[in-house]
Amino acid sequence: MDLSQYIKNISTAASTILEGMAVTFSHLFREPITVQYPEKLDKPMTEMLPPRYRGFLEVQMDICTGCKRCERSCPIECIAIDLVKDPATKKQAMSRFDIDMGKCMYCGLCVEACKVESTGAIRHTREFEGATATLDHLTFRFIPEGLVPLYKAPKDLSEVPVGEYGPHAREARERGMRDNPAMLEELREIWRKQNQTGKKKKGGKKQAKVTIDAGKAEKIKGNVVASPKGDVEKFARLLETLTAQTDCGACGYPTCYDYTKAMAGGADYDPSKCEPGGAEATADLGYAMDVYWKGPEAADAAAKGGGDAAAAAPAPAPAAAN
């Protein structure tokens, strides 16, 4: 190496070092960009996150139809929804809506299913703070007590009163931190029982077997027998009263009436499609269809023979009575 090249190398090294040091030195006079979290923030951290941030899930219960699309679309079974008949209103209502945020992988599949096909009741929020000593605290219960009625969605889903994102997740998190894990012991007992009865079997229809109540069967029978054969609309309206009547669309039809009209017209023989109605609606619809298409004696025999009304779906209709 000649002398000029040697001097050039030294000069390049010196200027590079000076350049680097200049950047370092300039930081001595800049405002720090790190913040003391959480004490010294100008505004809550959640407000600084992007709007589409995938934080904790929340459910706005007053616009939830109980259609269970979210529960079905979750690949790892984080969501648990239970529906029962409300003794006061005699209508289906939700008794449980739990999300295990400790297990959730934030994939958003449940949110998409609800947003595209239902009301957008379940959604990600920008809430994220869930530091806890045990994951049990992160089971968010959106129905802390009592029953929540099912929301009947407008047909075009245009006027669903979607509220602010965040408060439901915050409330559920606070309850979780306060009430779990003692509450979870109770839940686990419920899950154990459900698994024993086959209600939560992986895959397939998640319906328990229900035997139709004798008094109710008599009432349904009387109404069906009084319904003139061939009057599809009348029979469809009667069947509609046996569904959950939320027009949630989980059965694959836009409204309850569309579903029951297909059944009454002989185009659909499956009484097990009403998701919010659950096993009870399946049993009631199956029994009513049996009375209509097979006759009261055969319907009673089928009802006594087994409780699984889905299995006891009516035989193919004699003719589509449109």
CA distance linking residue 249 with residue 255, whole number of Å: 6
Residue among 238, 248, 288, 309 that touches ligand SF4 (CB under 6 A): 248
Residue among 55, 58, 83, 119 that touches ligand SF4 (CB under 6 A): 119
Output phi, psi for 57, to 5 deg.
-80, 150
Place of tokens 């995938």: 54
What is the smallest separation between the CB atom of 163 and ligand SF4, expressed in angstroms? 13
Residue among 80, 238, 251, 317 that touches ligand SF4 (CB under 6 A): 251
What is the radius of gyration, based on Cα positions, of the chain? 29
What is the smallest separation between the CB atom of 65 and ligand SF4, expressed in angstroms? 4
CB atoms within 10 A of CB 82: 17
Site mask, ligand SF4, residues 76-115, x = CB under 6 A?
Answer: x-xx-x-----------------x----xxxxxxx--xx-
Residue ranges in 253-272 that form contacts with ligand SF4 under rule CB under 6 A: 253, 255-256, 259
Residues in the chain, overall count: 322
**Is 283 within 8 Å of 299 (Cβ atoms)?**
no
What is the smallest separation between the CB atom of 157 and ligand SF4, expressed in angstroms? 10
Output phi, psi for 171, to 5 deg.
-60, -45
| Of residues 318, 279, 286, the one with CA closest to residue 302 | 286
Nearer to ligand SF4, 70 or 143 (CB): 70
Amino acid code (one letter) for 150: L
**Interface residues with ligand SF4 (CB under 6 A)?**
57, 59, 64-70, 73-74, 76, 78-79, 81, 99, 104-110, 113-114, 118-119, 121-122, 243-251, 253, 255-256, 259, 274-277
